Amino acid sequence: MAEEFVTTKDGVEIFFKDWGPREAQAIMFHHGWPLSADDWDNQMLYFLSKGYRVVAHDRRGHGRSAQVSGGADMDHYAADASAVVEHLDLRNAIHIGHSTGGGEVARYVARYGQPQGRVAKAILVSSVPPLMLKTPGNPGGTPIEVFNGYREALAANRAQFYIDVPTGPFYGFNRPGAKISQGIINNWWRQGMMGSAKAHYEGIKAFSETDQTDDLKAMRIPTLVTQGTDDQVVPYKDASLLQHELIKGSVLKLYDGYPHGMLTVHADVINPDLLAFIRE
């Protein structure tokens, strides 16, 4: 088992975890905004116990990776993920992305994974593609005012904002009867505050304004698209339904009433379903 750094072509140190037998099939996890590889702890331990090699990295400006001034965009995110893959020489790998990490997976697969023949399957969980922002061509998207509100709250008091998000919409803890976990809230806050305010601020544009329609159309590997129907962060009708439509041959699985952070609060249900798709 290892926790190491790889240096990208533009000189950025990216932190990653690499657990399990080197000869086993690898599963690489891509985290959401503004978190870190630690958001996958549950899944990494689960799949490790099933005999897989599990890898996760901190996106640039997030977690333990370098807090560089630039590169908060999907192109750099995907290139950084590829740097980890190439450093470890992962082949026949499964790539799983949550939220912004799903956008990262789509661009990685389209630009690096498929052309290099390194990726076997992909799983997009509550993911942001093809486009979150409301535009004339995407009338069902989220208005720019919402994302401007994120930026304002982050700039004004990031520490409080990073309590409000997990306490409220991210895990559905604002819903009547929700079983609230203070530990989950604290861990979200901890991960967020480890990262760079600048990277997180600029990352809002990356996850909300990047049109990834072409990335999704380019994906030709077996892909599972999954999301909860009570996702208050990424509307499922404008995300998972369109992902399924754009990725030829993809499998769609919706979870009734599950929130954006369903991987954490419903890991007991999600993990076996991911395993079943991987083993198909």
Which residues are catalytic, by number? 99, 231, 260
Residues 250/244, Cβ–Cβ less than 8 Å:
yes
Chain CA centroid to CA 105, Å: 8
Chain CA centroid to CA 132, Å: 14
Q: Which residues contact 272 (CB under 8 A, 6 or more apart)?
A: none
Give the span between the Cα atoms of 123 and 279, in whole angstroms.
13
Give the span between the Cα atoms of 98 and 247, in whole angstroms.
17
Q: Which residue has the tokens 């208005």?
A: 143
Q: Largest Cα–Cα distance of the chain, in whole Å?
A: 49
Residues 179/257, Cβ–Cβ less than 8 Å:
no
**Tell me, what amino acid is at 33?**
W
Give the span between the Cα atoms of 134 and 6, in whole angstroms.
36
DSSP assignment string, 89-101: T--SEEEEEETHH
Q: How many CB atoms lie within 10 A of CB 151?
A: 14
